[in-house]
Amino acid sequence: MNDLTQKKCQACEGGIPALSVAEARELHEQVHEDWQLNADATQITRVFKFKGFYKTMAFVNAVAWIANRELHHPDLEVSYNQCVVHFTTHAVDGLTENDFICAAKVDAL
């Protein structure tokens, strides 16, 4: 199995196909089981819970650092003690390997 944490995101401005449902399911097996793949395989989502606002914000800042380094940015929902992370590749209206690379790197935090 390829270690997604060792890969770098590839620039994506569209013009490539999104992953098929089968391809997305295969990569989904390589990230933490708490990542949820939506029914049409266009997004992965995971809820992270913390003990308080400061720890939540430290996590959010770490995710932002990963996202900026990889040039692939998630949608985040932040509240007092949790952060919901959504990865999708907006340029292709679906998932690419970049989403799973970033998810694996977030898992490693």
- Supply the CATH number for residue 58's domain: 3.30.1360.20
51 found inside a domain: yes
Q: Say which residue the tokens 């590749």 belong to.
A: 89
pLDDT at 11: 80
pLDDT 10s digits, 13-60:
777 899 999 999 999 999 999 999 999 999 999 999 999 999 999 999
What is the Cα–Cα distance from 106 to 99, expressed in whole angstroms?
11
Q: Which of 20, 42, 18, 44 is nearest to 32 (CA)?
A: 44
What is the Cα–Cα distance from 45 to 28, expressed in whole angstroms?
11
Are residues 21 and 99 in contact, defined by beta-carbon separation less than 8 angstroms? Answer: no
pLDDT at 1: 38
Are residues 88 and 46 in contact, defined by beta-carbon separation less than 8 angstroms? Answer: no
9 found inside a domain: no
What is the Cα–Cα distance from 105 to 51, expressed in whole angstroms?
21
pLDDT at 21: 96
34 found inside a domain: no
2 found inside a domain: no
* Domain count of the fold of the chain: 1
What is the Cα–Cα distance from 31 to 104, expressed in whole angstroms?
5
Range of the domain at 89: 42-109
Q: Which two tokens stand for residue 14?
A: 């569209």
61 found inside a domain: yes
93 found inside a domain: yes
In the structure, what pLDDT confidence band is assigned to residue 2 with cuts at 50, 70 and 90? low
Question: Looking at the whole model, is its pTM more than 0.75?
Answer: yes
